[in-house]
Amino acid sequence: MSLTAISANLSSTKLILPVAVFGLMLGLTGCNNSSTPAEGVDAEAGTEQSSTEQEVATNDDATAAGGQTVTIYSSRNEQLIKPLLDRYTEQTGVKIELVTDKTGPLMARLQAEGKNTPADMLLTVDAGNLWQAAEQGLLQPVSSTILEANVPAKYRDPKGQWTGLSLRARTIFYDPSKVSADQLSTYADLADPKWKGKLCLRTSKKVYNQSLVASMMEHLGEEKTEQVIRGWVDNLATDVFSDDTNLLEAIAAGQCEVGIANSYYYGRLLDEKPNFPVKIFWANQGTTGTHVNISGAGVVTGSDNPDGALKLMEWLSSDEAQGLYASADKEFPVKAGIDESEMLKSWGPFKQDDISVQKFGELQTKAIQMMDKAGYK
Ligand code: FE
């Protein structure tokens, strides 16, 4: 793979490599390749695993005519995001430098670098992370009629510091040999004693679960949410998992009967194993709707090229880029009216939770404290 992992300071050790080969991957579901580094761990450079490596890739074959380089600090799976960025370079001539690491280290770097940062854009997952970055002053407000037109307000920061670019549903998965869909209903119902010894959960350290619990706090109130979490913990079939893929495989292996995971992990498993023996269930359809979160981006406060970063963000919200997100990564477009992939369509339509995703950030600290108090590891 045309990537170079470095652990030295980026600004003094930029390694520039031609990566035209990535353009060839556009038609492929690159993230499903079994050689994907993040395979079996996380689609993104997740927040709970530690790593000191930083990966830098530059599409240096781009013509210089397109103007200034846009440097992205990204926690997204490089194989997923690089084809989109290469397409942008092909169309505009704008060179992109992609620095890939976990969200936490990237934010620490932005903090340390301040106005000297080479970064123009932060690209990451989960509104909880983007909200944190904005809280720390790492992102600057932007105003864009294109983003306002393409991205519903509930998936954007009201102050314009970040925007959603794709959607992922965090919902219920089950073993159809032991559970029928009519036994399932809500996230809260998984706290019922009927699921004792049958539930699998990912760790509460993962921001995805912090955001899910934040949404429950908003809908159910704190007292009820704490009861639900205690019920979940009582019902666990085994220790919490470090990632969603292992959790889904545990359901397939009969270790548990139900669990909660992000939809795209399931999609990738189905790509590899079309007969993967786990079914998806859209949670909370009779109540608040299935929990939906974003991947997204913001313009870095210390950016030398904020206009270039904003133009790229606008392009990522375009019909073409939105279609690529949906087909390559099993994510849902954030823009309305974009065709979903055949696999996503096969899961059927569902009602999304209408909550504004900034709430996940606002309630994150409380959610973490509550999960800790309730014994959810
Ligand atoms: Fe993920």
Least confident span in 29-43, 77-91, 164-178, 182-196 = 29-43
Q: Which CATH number fits domain 170-289+358-373: 3.90.45.10, 3.40.190.10, 3.40.50.11310, 3.40.50.1220?
A: 3.40.190.10
* Residue-averaged pLDDT of the chain: 86
Q: What is the 3-state secondary structure (H, E, C) of 229-272?
A: HHHHHHHECCCCECCHHHHHHHHHCCCCCEEEEEHHHHHHHHHH
Handedness of CA 248, 252, 254, 259 (dihedral sign): positive
Please state, in angstroms and rounded to a whole number, the distance separating the CA atoms of residues 202 and 265: 13
SS3 category, 196: coil
What pLDDT shows up at residue 129? Answer: 97
Say which CATH architecture domain 51-167+293-346 belongs to.
Answer: 3-Layer(aba) Sandwich (3.40)
Instruction: Spell out which residues have Cβ within 5 A of ligand 1, the ion.
Output: 42-44
Mark out the alpha helices in 12-116 (DSSP H runs): 78-92, 103-113
Residue among 332, 198, 319, 157 at smallest CA distance from 262:
332
Rounded distance from Cα 44 to ligand 1 centre (Å): 5
What digits encode the pLDDT tens for the residues 253-310?
999 999 999 999 999 999 999 999 999 999 999 999 999 999 999 999 999 999 999 9
In order of 66, 168, 208, 333, the CA distances from 329 in angstroms are 28, 10, 17, 10
What digits encode the pLDDT tens for the residues 208-235?
999 999 999 999 999 999 999 999 999 9
Rounded distance from Cα 231 to ligand 1 centre (Å): 25
Residue among 238, 236, 262 at smallest CA distance from 173:
262
Q: Where in the chain is the domain with CATH 3.40.190.10?
A: 51-167+293-346, 170-289+358-373
DSSP-assigned letter for residue 299: E
More confident residue, 6 or 109: 109
Residue 38 pairs in a beta bridge with none
What pLDDT shows up at residue 56? Answer: 56
Rounded distance from Cα 42 to ligand 1 centre (Å): 5
What pLDDT shows up at residue 41? Answer: 35
What digits encode the pLDDT tens for the residues 166-186?
999 999 999 999 999 999 999
Please state, in angstroms and rounded to a whole number, the distance separating the CA atoms of residues 95 and 290: 38
Rounded distance from Cα 49 to ligand 1 centre (Å): 12
Rounded distance from Cα 93 to ligand 1 centre (Å): 30
Rounded distance from Cα 187 to ligand 1 centre (Å): 19
CA 88 distance to own-chain centroid? 21
What residues have CB less than 8 Å from 324, skipping those under 6 apart? 26, 83, 84, 87
Please state, in angstroms and rounded to a whole number, the distance separating the CA atoms of residues 269 and 34: 10
Please state, in angstroms and rounded to a whole number, the distance separating the CA atoms of residues 66 and 78: 23
Is the model's pLDDT at 374 over the cut of 60?
yes
State pTM to two decimals. 0.84
What digits encode the pLDDT tens for the residues 237-255?
999 999 999 999 999 999 9
Taking each helix axis from N to C terminus, what angle separates 127-135 and 207-220, rounded to the nearest 10 degrees? Answer: 90
Is the model's pLDDT at 15 over the cut of 60?
no
Q: What type of residue sits at position 363? A: L
